[in-house]
């Protein structure tokens, strides 16, 4: 056999195999691309609600109206130092949730084996905790998340004490082995990327994904009312993105609640399930009733706990399902945890109405919009490389294998 001819044939086969692998990867991307608007809408929407609500968090309603007028805050308060509307720990942790999810998926596709999603997200959260407590001093340390190299994310933005203390312990909470008894909203406000990224094919897939949402929240929040809302939110966002518009927000909420009750009913969570169901039903009824938003939200709560934050967000989304601006301003104008209720409402509504329905004024001055968009795109397309195939996405490897951000954002 002619050695040169043999080598040439082998090289040609490799080229053909690489071309075929790249074609399959591009086909996978194209299939996922139809969900891009809703995934972007959810991630951007959550950041908008977070940034809009940040200046009025902790302020009583009377203080809000005194500062911003009788209708409350209606547009961004631009930060003098940064020149834009700044995000808080809510959006920071949401981005790190996404980073952890995609590290796990990439490991699974390239190595053929993947651990529980919450394990990878916990790693990402530990790195977020370092950014908040040590700032830029730790930027050169070893890390897994490419977000760790973004200087803006090393600026503390009112990080939740429960999250910090739980992560500082080095232990990882779960629904079965809670670290604490916190039912704060710090669990539900960060889980959107789970519902955005994974498209369940079966009912069992959906149940497992909802449980993953609860486990991600339970990493830091041990009370059932700290993690049950995360399961409901994961389900709702998944319906918004992958339901192709077949279900309304109300139908998605009812389906999510029924599924979560079926998963966790019949155990120690029954009392909490009953309490949460009453709040959700109340929010649904109020959303269709006469009355002003401030009074009706006040009757639901202030949003400091996970169930209240979800119920307030649900009220706003049901009240204004086709009007992002009215929904998001209603979600932040109350005496409570305005940035978190705004973030949750923005995540949910954005998943149903898509990026195009979010006015340009909300995107124009939003801090870190390029990073948010990049992460939304990555959540949309995911890792298209597969173990054993001759296709390599160098940018993806850089971010989710090597943990490097590339150009500063």
pLDDT of residue 266: 83
For 246-289, the pLDDT digits (tens) are: 789 999 999 999 999 999 998 767 889 999 999 999 999 999 99
pLDDT of residue 16: 66
Structure pTM? Answer: 0.94
Query: What residue ranges of the chain have pLDDT lower than 50?
Result: 408-409
Phi, psi of 406 (to 5 degrees): 80, -130
pLDDT of residue 251: 96
Query: Taking Cα atoms as reference points, which of 156, 69, 54, 93 lies closest to residue 366?
Result: 54
pLDDT of residue 268: 61
Query: What gap in Å lies between CA 377 and CA 10, rounded to an integer?
Result: 36
Query: Taking Cα atoms as reference points, which of 344, 291, 288 lies closest to residue 320?
Result: 288
pLDDT of residue 17: 61
pLDDT of residue 1: 53
Q: What domains are there in the chain, each with its CATH number?
A: 40-400 (1.10.4080.10)
- Dig out the tokens for 199 from the structure: 């498209």
Query: Taking Cα atoms as reference points, which of 374, 159, 349, 376 lies closest to residue 240?
Result: 349
pLDDT of residue 23: 75
For 25-80, the pLDDT digits (tens) are: 777 878 888 999 999 999 999 999 999 999 999 999 999 999 999 999 999 999 99
pLDDT of residue 18: 64
The label of the residue with tokens 């490799």 reads 14
pLDDT of residue 26: 75
Report helix, strand or coil for 225: helix
Task: Decide if 90 contacts 343 (C-beta within 8 A).
Answer: yes
């Amino acid at each position: 056999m002619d050695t040169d001819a043999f080598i040439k044939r082998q090289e040609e086969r490799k080229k053909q195999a690489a071309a075929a692998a790249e074609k399959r990867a591009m086909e996978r991307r194209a299939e996922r691309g139809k969900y891009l608007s809703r995934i972007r809408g959810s991630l951007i929407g959550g950041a908008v609600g977070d940034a809009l609500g940040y200046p009025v968090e902790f302020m009583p309603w009377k203080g809000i109206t005194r500062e911003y007028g009788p209708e409350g805050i209606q547009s961004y308060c631009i930060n003098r130092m940064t020149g834009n509307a700044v995000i808080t720990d809510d959006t920071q942790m949401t981005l790190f949730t996404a980073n952890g999810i995609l590290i796990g998926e990439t490991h699974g596709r390239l190595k053929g084996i993947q651990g529980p999603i919450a394990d990878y997200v916990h790693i990402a959260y530990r790195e977020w905790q370092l950014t908040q407590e040590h700032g830029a001093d730790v930027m050169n340390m070893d890390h897994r998340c490419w977000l760790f190299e973004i200087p803006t994310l090393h600026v503390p933005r009112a990080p939740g004490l429960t999250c910090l203390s739980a992560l500082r312990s080095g232990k990882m909470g779960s629904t079965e082995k809670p670290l604490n008894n916190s039912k704060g909203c710090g669990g539900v406000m960060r889980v959107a990327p789970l519902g955005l990224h994974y498209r369940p094919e079966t009912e069992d897939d959906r149940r497992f994904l909802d449980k993953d949402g609860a486990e991600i929240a339970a990493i830091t929040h041990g009370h059932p009312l700290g993690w049950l809302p995360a399961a409901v939110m994961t389900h709702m966002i998944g319906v918004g993105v992958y339901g192709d518009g077949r279900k309304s927000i109300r139908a998605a909420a009812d389906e999510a609640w029924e599924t979560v009750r079926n998963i966790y009913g019949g155990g120690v969570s029954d009392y909490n399930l009953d309490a949460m169901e009453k709040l959700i039903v109340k929010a649904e009824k109020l959303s269709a009733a006469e009355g002003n938003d401030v009074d009706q939200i006040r009757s639901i709560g202030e949003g400091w706990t996970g169930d209240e934050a979800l119920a307030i967000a649900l009220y706003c989304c049901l009240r204004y399902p086709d009007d992002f601006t009215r929904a998001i301003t209603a979600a932040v104008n109350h005496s409570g945890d305005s940035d978190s209720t705004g973030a949750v409402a923005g995540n949910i509504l954005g998943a149903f109405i898509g990026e195009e329905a979010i006015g340009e004024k909300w995107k124009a001055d939003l801090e870190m919009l390029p990073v948010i968009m990049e992460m939304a795109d990555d959540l949309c397309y995911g890792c298209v490389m597969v173990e054993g195939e001759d296709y390599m996405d160098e940018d993806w490897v850089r971010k989710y294998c090597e943990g490097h951000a590339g150009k500063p954002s």
